């Protein structure tokens, strides 16, 4: 899947600034596993803000969600991910939330229907816990089969 860049000074605060690379990796792995995106045998490592993921994703969307959970963590600047190909997965675009955005505004932009925002919320449930609480710089998936 490759390397994804993230804004390192925003996101979930799951470890302190003084945490070692091993402590950061353990916290990120615990966060991913608690959200259960569909990855088995997960191994997480961190080197100077770059998270490397290894494991077996059950689908492309599971891999994408894993990358987004790891990347939307404060202190993470990039994520290197394992590769998984599944031909029956719908096309997905990535979107970085901007100031003033709402899920309904994003749905209007991508689908032409603001009321289609639940589709975006469902595709990002592991990253967005509340559809009214999104923040600039956060990256999300936009399913394009709408």
- Inter-residue contact 28 to 44 (CB < 8 Å): yes
Residues of CATH 3.10.350.10 domain(s) within the chain?
92-143
The verdict on pTM exceeding 0.85 is no
Report the mean per-residue pLDDT for the chain.
Answer: 90
**HSE toward the beta carbon, residue 86, CA cutoff 13 A:** 15
- Return the pLDDT at 3: 79
Distance, in Å, from the CA atom of 41 to the CA atom of 81, rounded to the nearest integer, reads 14
Fold of 92-143: Membrane-bound Lytic Murein Transglycosylase D; Chain A (3.10.350)
pLDDT over threshold 70, residue 87: no
């Amino acid at each position: 899947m490759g390397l994804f860049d993230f804004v390192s000074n925003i996101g979930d605060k799951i470890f302190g600034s003084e945490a070692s690379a091993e402590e950061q990796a353990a916290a990120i792995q615990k966060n991913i596993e608690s959200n259960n995106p569909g990855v088995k045998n997960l191994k997480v490592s961190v080197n100077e803000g770059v998270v490397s993921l290894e494991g077996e994703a059950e689908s492309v969307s599971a891999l994408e969600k894993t990358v987004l959970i790891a990347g939307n963590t404060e202190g993470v600047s990039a994520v290197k991910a394992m590769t998984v190909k599944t031909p029956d997965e719908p096309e997905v675009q990535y979107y970085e939330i901007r100031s003033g955005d709402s899920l309904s505004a994003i749905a209007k932009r991508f689908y032409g229907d603001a009321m289609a925002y639940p589709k975006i919320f469902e595709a990002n449930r592991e990253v967005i816990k509340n559809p009214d609480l999104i923040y600039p710089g956060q990256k999300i998936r936009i399913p394009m089969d709408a």
